[in-house]
């Protein structure tokens, strides 16, 4: 008899949704048969059987959320093995006989908690203090490590805490440190003035939770700063029209975003310091420009990757980006297709957004935000003219890409967009 476990479909997966079973109790499966669909925070993946045999039991019903990795989800048996009984007959009363023993730890729980709560010294040893001294120190915000005990064997007593309080043993600092260590407590909407019954609450799915967690981590841990630049795209639009006419018999249509991805990849090779990631051990300088493109899907956002974009032509980038975006919306991407990019592009120009900044997708060092192309007045050779202008924002991780490096990247990117013939060479 073999337990089928909840698989880890990506290196960072901790739990998932068992979206659908393709088998039922009594079915016979062979190695390689699709038995279930697992929904992670980014995609829906098919799970294949690795053994053959009969499905004895479905342990986790379909639709179950928060199923931890390596949790048994079903039980499989070979033809020669009889299904295991669900209940044991003989030892049914044994747990009752042991019940009094299981209650014993409850009686000791207060002592255990008290011992766990006892402060420790810097060298890991216990700080000896009377219960009254502990309570007074907690109320005054005093750190018992800074209090010298005068009681028997150096025990901290009431008079020691009172003396430390009068001597100004920095209670405020201790209180501030304790407060900063506590996680932020989320208030309910009612506590913030929004009455119950005035809204519908949509539960968070795995993707929403993952996006929320990653974005908060990025904002809190990464020193973001933006750089802005305007680029003229009249020539790009003209070249795009010609390229699409040439590719029309093949059914390929190149978008402005495809040009942006190609130009960003080439600029990353020209300024390799921008194609980097921060790690505690050092700065990782990436060999290739693996450009992630932000794709909005139902319930969240995902960033499929154009691998080695600097080596690919516009037609290939257009074909890959269309395929990746389609499968992303269907949640059919493989983990390796959306994990591990070195640079991101987010484009809201199709919604008419003129300018915006994005949150860095760790561990990448930069993310580019692309606004809408629109006609604006410009000055050329001292004369007022009209040009189609697009604002691009580069948000950088200052630990990796400083202002000068980000500026050099944009200096390399701008001429590629304004004169895209260079990308066709």
List the catalytic residues: 398
Residues 6 or more apart whose Cβ sits within 8 Å of residue 45: 9, 37, 38, 39, 334, 335
3-state DSSP call for residue 300?
strand
CA distances from 349 to 256, 257, 345, 354 (A): 10, 9, 12, 7
E-strand ranges in 311-382 read 343-347, 366-380
| Class of residue 142 by CB neighbours under 10 A (exposed 0-12, middle 13-18, buried 19+) | buried
Q: CA angle at residue 413 from 411 to 415, to 5 degrees? A: 80
Residues 303 and 361 sit within 8 Å (Cβ to Cβ): yes
Distance CA 12, CA 338 (A): 12
Residue closest to 255 by CA, chosen among 191, 209, 315, 169 = 315
Tell me the DSSP string of 12-46.
T--EEEEEEES--TT-EE-TT-EEEEEE-SS-EEE
Q: Which two tokens stand for residue 420?
A: 């895209």
Residue closest to 376 by CA, chosen among 257, 263, 233, 264 = 233
Q: Which two tokens stand for residue 328?
A: 């992303």
Distance CA 4, CA 58 (A): 10
Element counts in the chain: helices (H) and strands (E) = 10, 18
Distance CA 340, CA 185 (A): 32
| Class of residue 194 by CB neighbours under 10 A (exposed 0-12, middle 13-18, buried 19+) | exposed
Residues 310 and 257 sit within 8 Å (Cβ to Cβ): no
Which helix (H) or strand (E) is 105 found in, with range? helix 94-117
Distance CA 246, CA 219 (A): 44
Distance CA 358, CA 52 (A): 48
Residues 120 and 126 sit within 8 Å (Cβ to Cβ): yes
Q: Which ranges constitute the DSSP H helices of 201-270?
A: 206-221, 234-247, 256-270
């Amino acid at each position: 008899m073999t337990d089928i476990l909840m698989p880890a479909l990506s290196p960072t997966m901790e739990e998932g949704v068992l979206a659908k079973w393709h088998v039922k109790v009594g079915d016979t499966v062979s190695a390689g048969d699709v038995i279930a669909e697992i929904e992670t925070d980014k995609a829906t993946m098919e799970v294949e059987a690795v053994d053959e045999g009969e499905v004895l039991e479905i342990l986790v019903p379909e639709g179950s959320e928060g199923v931890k990795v390596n949790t048994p989800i079903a039980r499989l048996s070979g033809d020669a093995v009889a299904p295991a009984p669900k209940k044991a007959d003989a030892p049914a009363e044994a747990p009752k006989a042991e019940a009094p023993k299981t209650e014993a730890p409850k009686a000791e729980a207060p002592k255990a908690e008290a011992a766990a709560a006892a402060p420790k010294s810097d060298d890991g040893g216990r700080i000896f203090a009377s219960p009254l001294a502990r309570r007074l120190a907690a109320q005054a915000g005093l750190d018992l490590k800074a209090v010298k005990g005068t009681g028997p064997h150096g025990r901290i007593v009431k008079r020691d805490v009172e003396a430390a309080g009068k001597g100004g043993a920095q209670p405020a600092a201790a209180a501030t440190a304790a407060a900063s260590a506590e996680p932020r407590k989320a208030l309910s909407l009612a506590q913030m003035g929004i009455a119950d019954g005035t809204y519908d609450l949509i539960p968070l799915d795995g993707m929403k939770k993952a996006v929320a967690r990653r974005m908060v981590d990025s904002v809190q841990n990464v020193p973001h700063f933006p750089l802005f630049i305007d680029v003229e795209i009249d020539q790009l639009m003209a070249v795009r029209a010609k390229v699409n006419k040439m590719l029309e018999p093949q059914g390929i249509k190149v978008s402005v975003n495809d040009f942006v991805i190609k130009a960003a990849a080439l600029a990353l090779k020209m300024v390799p310091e921008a194609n980097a990631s921060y790690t505690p051990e050092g700065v990782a300088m990436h060999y290739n420009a693996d450009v992630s493109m932000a794709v909005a899907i139902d319930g969240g956002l995902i960033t499929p990757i154009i691998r080695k974009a600097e080596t690919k032509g516009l037609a290939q980038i257009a074909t890959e980006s269309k395929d990746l975006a389609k499968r992303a919306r269907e949640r059919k991407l493989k983990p390796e297709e959306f994990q591990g990019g070195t640079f991101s592009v987010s484009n809201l120009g199709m919604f008419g957004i003129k300018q915006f900044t994005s949150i860095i997708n760790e561990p990448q060092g930069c993310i580019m935000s692309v606004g809408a192309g629109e006609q604006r007045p410009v000055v050329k050779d001292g004369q007022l003219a009209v040009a189609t202008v697009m604002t691009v924002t580069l948000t950088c991780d200052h630990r990796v890409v400083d202002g000068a490096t980000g500026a050099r990247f944009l200096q390399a990117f701008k001429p590629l967009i304004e004169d895209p013939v260079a990308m066709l060479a």
